[in-house]
Amino acid sequence: MQRLRTWNERFRTRDSKERNLKQALGEIDRMASALGLPDNVRETASVIYRRALDEDLLPGRSIEGVSTASLYAAARQAGTPRSLDEIAGVSRVEKDEIARTYRYVVRELKLEIQPADPESYVPRFASDLGLSDEAERRARSLLDTAKEQGIHSGKSPVGLAAAAVYAASLLVNEKVTQSEVSEVANISEVTIRNRYHELLEAEDSVALN
């Protein structure tokens, strides 16, 4: 009887893990589709989630929270990052829980994640706004100058990228509104305005030198 109980417990545990994994992979697929993330990001997110499950990181945390954190980490690892606000917009859990779970998963699994580079957001923003290659190049150039001048430090990479795309669109005469950029980047117009002025000041100071 004891042996039967042991086997029964093992099967129950395995079934519960398989159900958990199935639900998580469904969540990852749903969110990745909503965010337009490629297959390689979904696959990486699935691997991160499986590792979290195998290393017993789920007790006390929701399946949705860990699957969202896994996708957020995978997108950053692949160089196709999405902002925390964008991720929260398609998740079933709150932004604070995502951030907390993300930090926990990254720490416990010792994931290698580079700080998000503002330039990695530029192609997507430019594409969504229908801007030319020239505008995209100009935005990258503005961000390079900002890095040289050190004004990127401590600033949201999403905000800087959005402001650079907005400034570049004006500089190459392909005008888009702050409101359009704000919608695409999921960031406030106030942030875009503030970063926009800082980027142009950095550009001016280089020109004067």
What is residue 13's predicted lDDT score, i.e. its pLDDT? 57
What is residue 58's predicted lDDT score, i.e. its pLDDT? 92
What is residue 121's predicted lDDT score, i.e. its pLDDT? 94
pTM of the shown model: 0.80
| C-alpha distances in Å from residue 175, one per residue of 132, 162, 166, 168 | 11, 14, 8, 9
Question: In which domain, by residue range, is 72 found?
Answer: 2-109
209 close to 180: Cβ distance less than 8 angstroms:
no
| CATH code of residue 159 | 1.10.472.10
Residues 15 and 67 in one domain: yes
Average pLDDT over residues 158-165: 95
Please say which residue of 80, 109, 138 terminates a domain: 109
Asked whether the predicted pLDDT for residue 134 surpasses 70, the reply is: yes
Q: Which two tokens stand for residue 175?
A: 């005008």
Burial of 125 (0-12, 13-18, 19+ CB in 10 A): buried
Residues 6 and 82 in one domain: yes
Rounded CA separation 28/67 (Å): 6
